[in-house]
């Protein structure tokens, strides 16, 4: 057994795959084609259930099962209004792994999912990591704010130092800003059992992301993936990391104009907050599926600067593994 295999054995044992590399669940991108390709290449694909209805998720799982020759998981958002039904759909389809994201899941949700699957949860802090383990989580993901999409306030390196030395009960997977195998090796040496990468797989041949979306990824640098700006403290904005475009500036203006209307008495506080929150409605689909990279939301992690070409999932994973092995030998 190689050094790499030894270091992430707890991760591969939990996931049931060759390499402890999870595919980050990205709305509209992490669907049957990419998920099955990651799993078939030895990694661990994860369906992004996102805002899917139970019927849509049922179909997506069934279609993925037709393509996948290896285990894969389903990412469920804890705030989804039909979370219980989505968990039932996973159980009915004998899904082996459920990943809870978007908040701390209730103990009842974890218990229900554990009746048929392994449960992995996102832990944004050490105290919450310990709570999730007590609640029954079989594994944890710690994701720093270098990641794409919705992010927390703490960097990957700080989370790793805070959590990895103190959590030994379950495998921990590190995520956020990882684009090369050397970083994977170093996190494994710190005590991680594996990693999660999203941005790295967006430009895979098997990804259904629009050609415009992929081209923008390939030409972008790390600094181009910025965080959404909040104009006023009394109108909170959920931070999202994406490549800046025309919509980024329009969102700033939307906040300024909407808050001005509120101050002038033209809008109620609730109306103003809803107008700001609804600005990005459908924006990710516009970018990923329709290819509108100016008005859509091009969510990307800071590792986007390390995405330089289109490759197959097998090539991406093989490169990461080779880099990690070289680093460990060195």
What contacts 37, CB < 8 A, 6 or more positions away? 45, 204, 206, 312, 313, 314
Q: Look at residue 131 and give its three-state secondary structure.
A: helix
Measure the CA–CA gap between 269 and 58, rounded to whole angstroms: 39
pLDDT given at position 311: 98
Two tokens, residue 60: 């997506």
**What pLDDT is stored for residue 1 in this prediction?**
87
Walk me through the domains of the chain, giving residue ranges and CATH numbers. Answer: 3-209+308-329 (3.20.20.70), 221-299 (no CATH)
Q: Would you state the pLDDT for residue 281?
A: 86
pTM, two decimals, is 0.95
pLDDT tens per residue across all 330 residues of the chain: 899 999 999 999 999 999 999 999 999 999 999 999 999 999 999 999 999 999 999 999 999 999 999 999 999 999 999 999 999 999 999 999 999 999 999 999 999 999 999 999 999 999 999 999 999 999 999 999 999 999 999 999 999 999 999 999 999 999 999 999 999 999 999 999 999 999 999 999 999 999 999 999 999 999 999 999 999 999 999 899 999 999 999 999 999 999 999 999 999 999 999 999 999 989 999 999 999 999 999 999 999 999 999 999 999 999 999 999 999 999
- Provide the pLDDT for residue 253: 95
Q: Within 10 Å of residue 224's Cβ, how many Cβ atoms?
A: 18
Check if the beta carbon of residue 33 is closer than 8 Å to that of residue 202: no
């Amino acid at each position: 057994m190689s050094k790499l295999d030894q270091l992430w054995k707890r991760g591969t044992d939990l996931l049931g795959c060759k390499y402890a590399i999870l595919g980050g669940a990205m709305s509209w991108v992490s669907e049957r084609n990419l998920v099955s390709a990651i799993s078939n290449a030895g990694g661990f694909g994860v369906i992004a259930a996102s805002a899917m209805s139970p019927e849509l998720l049922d179909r997506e799982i069934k279609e993925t099962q037709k393509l996948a020759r290896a285990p894969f998981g389903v990412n469920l958002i804890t705030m989804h209004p039909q979370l219980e039904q989505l968990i039932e759909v996973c159980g009915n389809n004998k899904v082996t792994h459920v990943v809870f994201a978007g908040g701390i899941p209730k103990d009842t949700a974890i218990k229900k999912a554990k009746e048929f699957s392994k449960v992995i949860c996102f832990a944004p802090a050490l105290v919450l990591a310990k709570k999730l383990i007590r609640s029954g989580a079989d594994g944890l993901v710690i994701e720093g704010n270098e990641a794409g999409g919705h992010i927390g306030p703490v960097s990957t390196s700080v989370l790793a130092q805070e959590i990895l030395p103190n959590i030994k009960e379950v495998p921990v997977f590190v995520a956020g800003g990882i684009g090369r195998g050397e970083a994977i090796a170093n996190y494994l040496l710190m005590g991680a059992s594996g990693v999660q990468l999203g941005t790295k797989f967006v430009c895979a041949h098997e990804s259904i992301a629009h050609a415009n979306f992929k081209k923008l990824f390939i030409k972008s640098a790390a600094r181009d993936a910025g965080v959404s700006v909040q104009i006023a403290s009394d109108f909170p904005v959920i931070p999202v990391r994406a490549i800046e475009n025309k919509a980024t500036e329009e969102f700033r203006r939307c906040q300024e104009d909407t808050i001005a209307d509120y101050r002038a008495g033209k809008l109620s506080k609730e109306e103003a907050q809803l107008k700001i929150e609804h600005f990005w409605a459908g924006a990710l689909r516009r970018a990923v599926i329709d290819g509108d990279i100016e008005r859509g939301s091009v969510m990307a992690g800071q590792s986007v600067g390390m995405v330089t070409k289109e490759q197959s999932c097998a090539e991406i994973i093989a490169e990461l593994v080779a880099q990690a092995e070289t680093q460990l030998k060195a």
